[in-house]
Structure formats: C-alpha cells, structure tokens
Amino acid sequence: MYTITKEFHFSASHQLTDLPSDHQCARLHGHNYVVVVELRSAALNQFGFVRDYQELGELKAYIDDHLDHRHLNEVFESEAVTAEFLAKHLFDWCKQRFAETTAVRVSETPKTWAEYRPS
C-alpha cells in the first residue's frame, strides 16, 4: 500500500459558544491551522503516483478561498466548528474529488491534532 500526505495552512477565528462562559474557547479566538490530507492506493498510476501532488492544489484553493482569514462560525453557520468538525468536513470535500483520500488531520496548535479516518 502506498501512502502520500500533503500539508496545508490557514488562519481563521472561531468561537465555541456552547461551552461554559469561563472556558477559554468560549471566547472569540483564532488559530494558525495545519491540515494534512492522506491518500492511499495499492497501485500507482501511469506516472508512478498515488496522485500527483499538483492536483491537490484544488484543496489549497478551497482553503484559501473559503477558510483562510475568515470567521469559521459564519462560514459553516455553526457554533461548534472544532478541529474534529473541520477534519470531517475537509475529508468529505477531498473524498468527493480524490477517491484515494483515507484521512484528514487538523491542528489548531503545535501540540494538538484531530483526525477523521473512516473505519
């Protein structure tokens, strides 16, 4: 099995308003997000790739156009835009375009990661 990953970055704000008011994440705040998409295939294509990294530029364009420097609660019309939520959303987005997608990881801080990987 071959596995490739590619990393993307964006900055955005969010607020988890359903949390208790004394929770730090209940306040408006932002993150420098890191997104890692993972693709797998048992066989390589005619060029020797799982998928050409250049094709993943479509994900970069989506992130830049829809997520970067935005307030994520407004983008998703949700009060619970967590790293887990973003991982699932980006997985679904990628899976529709790149059949080899197996997981998406999202980091809000250098020490924390959320991953969506269907079982």
**Cβ-contact 22, 29 below 8 angstroms:** no
Residue from 25, 66, 71, 115 carrying the catalytic annotation: 25
pLDDT of residue 119: 86
For the CA atoms of the chain, what is the radius of gyration? Answer: 15
- CA–CA dist 14, 7 (Å, integer): 21
- The pLDDT value recorded for residue 105 is 98
8 Å CB contact between 116 and 88:
yes
Q: What is the pLDDT of residues 9-47, one digit of tens each?
A: 999 999 999 999 999 999 999 999 999 999 999 999 999
pLDDT tens sequence across 83-118: 999 999 999 999 999 999 999 999 999 999 999 999
Known catalytic membership, residue 69: yes
Phi, psi of 77 (to 5 degrees): 50, 50
84 is catalytic: no
| 52-58 average pLDDT score | 97
Q: Any alpha helices (H) in 38-108, and if so which ranges? A: 57-66, 72-76, 83-97
